Every structure is written in structure tokens, then in C-alpha cells.
Amino acid sequence: MVELQEVQLEEIFQCARCGYCCQGETTVSLDEDDQRRMIEELGLTREDVTEKYWRVTGRVVQMQIVDGHCIFYDKDTGCSVHKGRPWRCGQWPLHPSMLDDENNYTTISASCPGINKELSYEEFCRKLQKLLEQEGKLIC
Ligand code: SF4
Ligand code: SF4
């Protein structure tokens, strides 16, 4: 098998900043590290961040939804907490589950105009796999 040369993220994905992934009635959940980084980025107390921005259900912490989108989404400027966003937001849309099941690829790519649809599924997977090997944790 021919070894792929170094792959650039732009070969498979360039964010169109459409904001689609920040819409919906729920958001990704924040792990402990996400919570700490978001609190730091906002420069507020945990209590204030919890009250103003989070929706806490038992042990699950998510971001509040306002007008059908994440509270941090601004239609003109995008994510207003970009540096402190949850890692799952940074990972989107290049979720490794796309490598395991073409249906996952089809679903995700249908909802994200930033994915390069000119590549075949096999070619997309080869490049994504290579990127994951190169980068470890891939943040888009
Ligand atoms: S990741 Fe995809 S869905 Fe989200 S803003 Fe970028 S292009 Fe749009
Ligand atoms: S934190 Fe930012 S990237 Fe994540 S859903 Fe909210 S606005 Fe979108």
C-alpha cells in the first residue's frame, strides 16, 4: 500500500462558518476540562458561568440554548467563546466515527458544507486517518 504524504486539514475540511453545528435544542456536554477552560476564558466565577451560560442536568453540563442556537453563537461573528469552547465543538465535524461507518460520514457531511464532498468516502477516510495519526487529537 502506498504511504500517504502529510495531509493538510484543508484537503478534507474548510469551515464555511454557516453556524449550522451551533443550532438545535441541545448542545454538546462539557467535561471537567471544558468547564475549567470556559470559566477561564470568560473570566467569571463558576457560579456566574453556571447561571448565565450553562444548563446543568444532574451531572451533565451543557450550554444554554437561546433562539434555537447555543448561547455563545453570534450570527455575525460565530462562536463568541472560541478559545474556551468545548473540545467536542473543536473536533466537529471530523468525528472518528466516520471512519467506522459510512452512514456516519453521510449524515455528518450532509449537515456540514465544510466537508470536501469531491473526495470519495474511501479517499476522505484515508486522509482523515492520516490526519489523526499526524495530529493526535484533531481540533478543527
Ligand atoms: S463546522 Fe460545518 S456546520 Fe459547523 S460552521 Fe463549519 S461548515 Fe458550518
Ligand atoms: S461553544 Fe461555540 S462552537 Fe460550540 S456550539 Fe457554542 S457557539 Fe458553537
Mean pLDDT calculated for residue range 93-116? 96
Mean pLDDT calculated for residue range 56-84? 96
Q: What residues are in contact with ligand 1 under a 6 Å CB criterion? A: 15-21, 92-93, 112-114
Tell whether the model's pLDDT for residue 136 goes beyond 80.
no
Domain ranges of the chain: 10-17+93-135, 20-80
Mean pLDDT calculated for residue range 59-74? 97
CA–CA separation, 93 and 89 (whole Å): 8
Tell whether the model's pLDDT for residue 106 goes beyond 70.
yes
Mean pLDDT calculated for residue range 106-114? 96
| Å from CA of 70 to ligand 2 middle | 6
Tell whether the model's pLDDT for residue 131 goes beyond 80.
yes
pTM of the model: 0.89
Please report which ligand is nearest the Cα atom of 111.
Answer: 1
CA–CA separation, 65 and 119 (whole Å): 34
SS3 content of the chain, % helix, strand, coil (to 5): 45, 15, 40
